[in-house]
């Protein structure tokens, strides 16, 4: 049961943190339609996070989604390191979203067959939204990659910044083996090859080379984060910390 | 003393009064998000399902259901949200689609056309709710709310929202 709770929190935390990151673009997008697009994606992700948190709260008992999101410290967060990386420029945000959506699409395809009915239902509901995110971010990677010299260079910089955080998605955390064994969770190692193949196809169209032999960071899924998460939580949790139990 | 026949039909007719706060011409029954009404000793439980995962209207809708049914004399109204089976735009009533069009929002096409992962898929053909032309193009797949995309008519030039297939 503990493994299932941790696994559900991992799914929740990753979507919450990426949602929080994307929401930083609100009012700052390069053009209005794209500002709306990235904040819509943010909203979808926070919706998914809420579903996972509500389910985790039920499994834990005697708590609720807000307490879990607002009152845990960074070492308790189990999100992917990729999700907490800074927005950088538009290209970096797009690439982070693309890497993630490509992974999440493959993940949800399998999670919707989970033996756990609630996890399966959340995935089945969310995968349609993920397909929107995947199309949108994938198209932008291509558009920027084979766009102007400037946009191409920015995509190369983005790949340089983010590639080292992609390996973690496919390394199972300690709580993942039990949930995979009981067919409630997805075996992430099996997603690596299909993910890489999809990325290669997109990168080829975007005239970007897939990096090789890059050191891969990991630890986020086990609560060991980059320096960025603390700052995100400081902002995200401020109201509940300053005014405990406040609601609106 | 309030007396009422506690049958489901009556409760459904009360639920008609509750509108989607983001598309106020649509009632929640038009939207097709009311899955069931269960009566336990005259205390109703309304089962609803969200349209989009992150739809912020769901909390307001749940509060609306409680308020409306309470005002009709029901006690301990319970609202339960279920995710499965997944809501799709097929659950929307024909009446709902007609109301949407009248309101200036193109209703979802009867068959999903672009809900897959392929990039640069051709735009879905959407009829302009103002002049009925099919000569339209998509401006953005994301619109003012999670359920809408932004289109423009090439004939009457009006921009319009499209309640996208889901």
Maximum C-alpha span of chain A: 55
Supply the pLDDT for residue B4: 53
Of the listed ranges A89-103, A177-191, B9-23, B114-128, the least confidently predicted one is B114-128
Judged by CB atoms closer than 8 Å, whether chains meet at A43 and B54 is answered as yes
Beta strands in chain B (DSSP E): 19-20, 23-27, 34-40, 43-48, 78-81, 105-106, 136-140, 148-153, 159-163
Binned at pLDDT 50, 70 and 90, residue B110 comes out as confident
Supply the pLDDT for residue B166: 75
Q: How far is B142 from chain A (nearest CA, A)?
A: 5
Supply the pLDDT for residue B6: 60
Same domain membership, residue B105 and residue B77: no
How many domains in chain B? 2
What residue segments make up the domains of chain A, in order of their start? 2-242
Residue B2 included in any domain? no
Which of A15, A26, A40, A100 is the best mutation test for B, with the most CBs of B within 10 A?
A: A40
Chain B contact present for A138, CB below 8 A: yes
- Spell out which residues of chain A touch residue B116, defining contact as CB-CB under 8 Å: 131
Last residue of a domain, one of B87, B110, B132: B87
Supply the pLDDT for residue B5: 54
Last residue of a domain, one of B30, B53, B87: B87
Supply the pLDDT for residue A6: 98
User: Percent of chain A, pLDDT > 90?
Assistant: 98
For residue B114, is pLDDT > 70? no
CA-based end-to-end distance of chain A: 33
User: Percent of chain B, pLDDT > 90?
Assistant: 61
Judged by CB atoms closer than 8 Å, whether chains meet at A33 and B150 is answered as yes
- Residues with Cβ within 8 Å of A77's Cβ and at least 6 positions away in sequence, in order, are A13, A17, A220, A223, A225, A229, A233
* Structural domain span for residue B126: 93-163
Q: pLDDT tens digits for B11-61?
A: 999 999 999 988 889 999 999 999 999 988 889 999 999 988 888 888 899
B148-153: strand order across its sheet = B105-106, B159-163, B148-153, B136-140
- The average confidence (pLDDT) of chain B is 88
Q: Is the peptide bond before B85 cis (omega within 30 degrees of 0)?
A: yes
Chain B contact present for A232, CB below 8 A: no
Tell me the CATH number of domain A2-242, given options 3.40.50.150, 3.40.1110.10, 1.20.1260.10, 1.10.10.10: 1.20.1260.10
Angle at B35 between CA B29 and CA B37, to 5 degrees: 90
Chain B contact present for A142, CB below 8 A: yes
ipTM of this model? 0.87
Last residue of a domain, one of B62, B87, B112: B87
Supply the pLDDT for residue B120: 85
Binned at pLDDT 50, 70 and 90, residue A171 comes out as very high
Q: How many residues does chain A have?
A: 248
Q: pLDDT tens digits for A16-58?
A: 999 999 999 999 999 999 999 999 999 999 999 999 999 999 9
Dihedral in degrees, nearest 10, Cα atoms B54, B166, A110, A203: -90
Q: pLDDT tens digits for A125-165?
A: 999 999 999 999 999 999 999 999 999 999 999 999 999 99
- The average confidence (pLDDT) of chain A is 97
């Amino acid at each position: 049961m503990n493994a299932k709770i941790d696994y559900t929190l991992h799914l929740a935390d990753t979507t919450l943190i990426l949602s929080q990151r994307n929401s930083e673009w609100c009012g700052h997008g390069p053009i209005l339609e794209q500002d709306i697009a990235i904040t819509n994606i943010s909203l979808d992700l926070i919706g998914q996070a809420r579903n996972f948190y509500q389910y985790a709260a039920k499994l834990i008992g005697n708590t609720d989604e807000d307490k879990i999101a607002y009152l845990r410290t960074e070492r308790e967060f189990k999100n992917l390191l990729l999700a907490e990386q800074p927005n950088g420029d538009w290209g970096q945000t797009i690439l982070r979203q693309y890497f993630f959506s490509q992974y999440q699409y493959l993940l949800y395809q399998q999670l919707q067959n989970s033996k756990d009915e609630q996890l399966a239902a959340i995935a089945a509901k969310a995968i349609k939204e993920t397909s929107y995110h995947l199309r949108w971010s994938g198209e932008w990677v291509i558009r920027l990659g084979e766009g102007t010299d400037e946009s191409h260079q920015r995509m190369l910089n983005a790949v340089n910044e983010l590639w080292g955080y992609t390996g973690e998605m496919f390394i199972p955390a300690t709580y993942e083996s039990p949930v995979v064994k009981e067919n409630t969770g997805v075996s992430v190692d099996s997603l690596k090859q299909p993910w890489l193949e999809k990325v290669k196809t997109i990168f080829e169209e975007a005239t970007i080379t897939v990096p090789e032999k890059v050191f891969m960071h990991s630890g986020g899924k086990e609560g060991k984060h980059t320096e960025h998460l603390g700052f995100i939580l400081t902002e995200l949790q401020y109201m509940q910390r300053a005014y405990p139990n406040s609601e609106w | 003393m309030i007396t009422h026949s506690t049958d489901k039909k009556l409760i459904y007719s009360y639920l008609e009064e509750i509108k989607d706060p983001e598309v106020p011409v649509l009632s929640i029954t038009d939207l097709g998000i009311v899955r069931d009404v269960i009566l336990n000793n005259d205390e109703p439980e309304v089962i609803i399902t969200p349209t989009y995962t992150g739809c912020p209207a769901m909390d307001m809708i749940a509060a609306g259901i409680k308020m409306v049914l309470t005002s009709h004399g029901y006690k301990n109204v319970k609202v339960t949200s279920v995710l499965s089976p997944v809501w799709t735009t097929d659950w929307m009533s024909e009446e709902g689609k007609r109301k949407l069009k009248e309101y200036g929002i193109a209703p979802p096409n009867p068959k999903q056309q672009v809900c897959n992962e392929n990039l640069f898929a051709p735009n879905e053909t959407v009829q302009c709710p103002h002049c009925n032309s099919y000569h339209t193009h998509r401006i953005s797949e994301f619109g003012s709310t999670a359920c809408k995309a932004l289109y423009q008519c090439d004939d009457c030039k009006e921009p319009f929202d499209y309640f996208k297939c889901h």
